[in-house]
């Protein structure tokens, strides 16, 4: 935004959750919004009705604009008029300035705008161009995830104005190929820079009057790498191909509402902030659902919340204004990883880990890379109807919890009261996403160990349970088989996971020495169970060998190889285990998985797998 009003108020911390706004059935998505000269960062839950509360209120110089969620699960805020960049935790308890322009060093950037992160977790930001803050191009800060708030943080001018020109910069974003897209608001252009980001070309020029951009601010990319640009001047969002070809106007708002920043969630919903003047007043948050049929190209905007209604109707005022500018979502998508038969991939999000060992028999069917999106969902919105039906990619059907509990998952520790959905996203070699992951294994089960990384002294960890084409709670937690009636055959890899909160708290580690043996030989199975609970637990452990069976019957089988009697695990202790395991001499050569599962009470507490290669 070009101008702003400065409001003076005292520092305010987070306030209790309030309920306002209007919406249809919400997605449960958590949205963070900056309020410009309102000096606040808001947390908004897309529920029915929407929930709004103040996450953070800054000092008199705090005027937040563009914001982005980092790979460290923290919110990065460009305080453009204050020439600062902030890092704020999602609960608002910690806010630190990680970059501050000093007049004594005129070579450093002023007016940071439009932050975004590349696949390596580096922060990129644009710069504005006005009377007191000359544009200096695009900058980056590396090493944020491993650097404390004290720094040092040293911005690097990767795309100076000598290369890309002098303009009023707004949003930036990255596409699925890790290309940087840059908004030139004053010139009405979009620039593209490929790794290693040393040069940029104009991908959407300001030459064709039928597709001219009008004061563009926000930019977003969907799962097909199509580009969407928010035009503040004309009040619409334009749709372009990944090559910059104009595909049409995606949506036009009313004559008063003008779009600013926006972002797609992993399910294809586009969340947008609109305002009604250059001071960012009368802010609204909208959700544009993905088109339901191929011929439908223009979605109908759904109002999530009108901040003016919140601002004017509250009995005890908690908002300092009805302004809004920046927007980011509490959803994180991991960088893409190459996937191959016989390989193992590990996807990590703070506190969560997903490990996928692919057997040699797996058929990728064109899938070349995979990403995992971790999506926090508000507890009161997450319920049985949000889970994937069998073989489906949407959140519908299924029974996520045991029959003795209600249809809502419990709060997961360290996620701000949210439940989590983890969505596996498969892409072909050109970066286009498959609607459903096409991966199949012809003879072996696809191994999957997904769990919450428990850390002492958490008393209620969470376990990510793979749905694997089935939503039966017993199948998921006990047999871990896509279909208990199938032993071998074609087993699909579902693209969504179910995450629930479980009562036990311990971490299972597992290893094999050696991990490649001849049939009839011995390997040593060893590991440990580490407690992170505040009280003693009764633990049951089972170790299962999964893989090809006997000669002439080499379909996928499961063989129980070790199950000691239940034992007590005291708080803060670790119980090691180890034993020799002789591979039967009539075992078929191939790749096997030794899967360990522990339970505390009736529910699983942790699960992990390691591979075993058997030769002749």
pLDDT of residue 584: 82
Q: Which residues lie closer than 8 Å to 245 by C-beta, 6 or more apart?
A: none
Q: How confident is the model at residue 273 (pLDDT cuts 50, 70, 90)?
A: very high
Short-list 34, 31, 40, CA closest to 318:
40
Q: Residues 423, 370: contact at Cβ < 8 Å?
A: no
Give the sign of the dihedral formed by CA 122, CA 270, CA 377, CA 476: negative
Q: Tell me the CA distances in angstroms from 565 to 217, 325, 538, one per residue in order.
A: 63, 59, 10
pLDDT of residue 317: 61
pLDDT of residue 477: 34
More confident: 486 or 241: 241
**Is residue 385 pLDDT above 50, yes or no?**
no
**Is residue 442 pLDDT above 60, yes or no?**
yes
Indicate the range of 108-112, 257-261, 310-314, 323-327 predicted with least confidence: 310-314
Instruction: Examine residue 159 and say whether the peptide bond preceding it is cis (omega within 30 degrees of 0).
Output: no
Q: Tell me the CA distances in angstroms from 346 to 14, 349, 415, 547, 592, one per residue in order.
A: 35, 10, 21, 21, 18
Mind listing the pLDDT tens digit for each residue in 544-590? 777 665 544 554 556 777 777 888 888 768 888 888 888 888 888 88
**Is residue 127 pLDDT above 50, yes or no?**
yes
Within 10 Å of residue 497's Cβ, how many Cβ atoms?
Answer: 23
Q: Residues 58, 360: contact at Cβ < 8 Å?
A: no
Share of the chain above pLDDT 70, in %: 70
Residue 592 φ/ψ, nearest 5 degrees: -115, 165
Give the pairing of strands 516-518 and 603-615: parallel
Mean pLDDT, rounded, for 350-378: 80
Q: How confident is the model at residue 7 (pLDDT cuts 50, 70, 90)?
A: very low
Transcribe 492-559 into DSSP letters.
Answer: E--SBEEEEE-S--EEEEEEEESSEEETT-EEEEEEEEEE--SS-EEEEEEEEEEEE-STT--SEEEE
In the chain, what are the domains? 18-213+305-330 (2.120.10.30), 337-615 (2.60.40.10)
Any idea how long the chain is? 616
Mind listing the pLDDT tens digit for each residue in 213-266? 999 999 999 988 899 999 999 999 999 999 999 999 999 998 899 999 999 988
Can you give the pTM of this predicted structure?
Answer: 0.73
Arithmetic mean of pLDDT over the chain: 76
Q: How confident is the model at residue 148 (pLDDT cuts 50, 70, 90)?
A: confident
**Is residue 491 pLDDT above 50, yes or no?**
no
Mean pLDDT, rounded, for 511-528: 91
């Amino acid at each position: 935004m070009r101008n702003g009003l400065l409001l003076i108020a005292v520092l305010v911390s987070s306030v209790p959750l309030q309920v306002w706004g209007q919406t249809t059935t919400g997605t449960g998505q958590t949205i963070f919004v900056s309020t410009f000269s309102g000096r606040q960062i808001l947390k908004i839950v897309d529920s029915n009705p929407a929930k709004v509360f103040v996450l953070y209120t800054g000092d008199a110089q705090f005027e937040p604009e563009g914001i982005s969620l980092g790979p460290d699960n923290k919110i990065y805020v460009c305080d453009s008029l204050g020439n600062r960049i902030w890092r704020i935790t999602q609960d608002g308890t910690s806010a630190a300035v990680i970059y501050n322009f000093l007049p004594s060093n005129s070579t450093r950037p002023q007016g940071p705008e439009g932050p975004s992160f590349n696949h390596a977790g580096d922060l990129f930001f644009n710069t504005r161009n006005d009377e007191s803050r000359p544009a200096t191009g695009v900058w980056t800060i590396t090493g944020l995830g491993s650097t404390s708030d004290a720094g040092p943080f040293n911005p690097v001018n990767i795309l100076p104005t000598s290369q890309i020109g002098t303009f009023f910069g707004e949003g930036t974003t990255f596409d699925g190929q890790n290309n940087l897209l840059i908004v030139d608001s004053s010139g009405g252009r979009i620039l593209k820079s490929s790794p290693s980001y040393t040069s940029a070309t104009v991908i959407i020029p300001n030459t064709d009057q039928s597709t001219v951009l009008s004061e563009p601010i926000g930019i977003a990319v969907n799962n097909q790498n199509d580009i969407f640009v928010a035009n503040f001047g004309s009040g619409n969002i334009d749709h372009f191909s990944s090559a910059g070809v104009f595909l049409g106007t995606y949506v036009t708002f009313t004559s008063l509402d003008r779009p600013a920043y926006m972002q797609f969630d992993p399910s294809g919903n586009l969340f947008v902030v609109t305002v009604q003047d250059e001071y960012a007043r009368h802010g609204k948050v909208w959700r544009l659902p993905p088109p339901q049929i191929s011929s439908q190209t223009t979605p109908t905007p759904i109002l999530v919340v009108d901040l003016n209604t919140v601002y004017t109707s509250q009995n005890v005022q908690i908002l300092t204004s009805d302004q809004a500018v920046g927007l980011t979502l509490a959803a994180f998508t991991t960088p893409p990883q190459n996937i191959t038969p016989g390989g193992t991939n590990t996807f990590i999000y703070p506190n969560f880990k997903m490990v996928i060992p692919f057997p040699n028999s797996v058929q990728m069917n064109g899938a070349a890379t995979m990403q995992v999106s971790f999506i926090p969902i508000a507890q009161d919105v997450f319920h049985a109807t949000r889970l994937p039906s069998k073989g489906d990619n949407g959140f519908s059907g299924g029974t996520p919890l045991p029959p003795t509990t209600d249809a809502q998952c419990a709060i997961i520790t360290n996620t701000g009261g949210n439940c989590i959905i983890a969505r596996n996203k498969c892409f072909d070699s050109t970066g286009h996403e498959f609607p459903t992951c096409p991966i199949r294994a012809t003879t072996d089960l696809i191994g999957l160990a997904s769990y919450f990384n428990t850390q002492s002294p958490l008393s209620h960890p969470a376990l990510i349970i793979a749905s694997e084409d089935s939503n039966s709670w017993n199948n998921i937690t006990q047999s871990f088989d896509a279909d208990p009636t199938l032993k071998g055959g074609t087993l699909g890899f579902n693209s969504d996971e179910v995450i629930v909160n479980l009562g036990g708290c311990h971490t299972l580690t597992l290893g094999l020495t050696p991990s490649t043996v001849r049939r009839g030989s011995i390997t040593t199975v060893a590991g440990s169970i580490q407690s992170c609970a505040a009280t003693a637990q009764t633990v049951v452990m089972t170790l299962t060998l999964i893989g090809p069976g006997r000669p002439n019957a080499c379909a996928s089988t499961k063989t129980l190889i070790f199950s000691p009697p239940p034992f007590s695990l005291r708080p803060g202790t670790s119980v090691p285990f180890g034993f020799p395991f002789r591979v039967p001499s009539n075992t078929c050569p191939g790749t096997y998985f030794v899967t360990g599962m522990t339970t505390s009470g009736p529910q699983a507490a942790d699960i992990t797998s390691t591979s075993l290669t058997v030769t002749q």
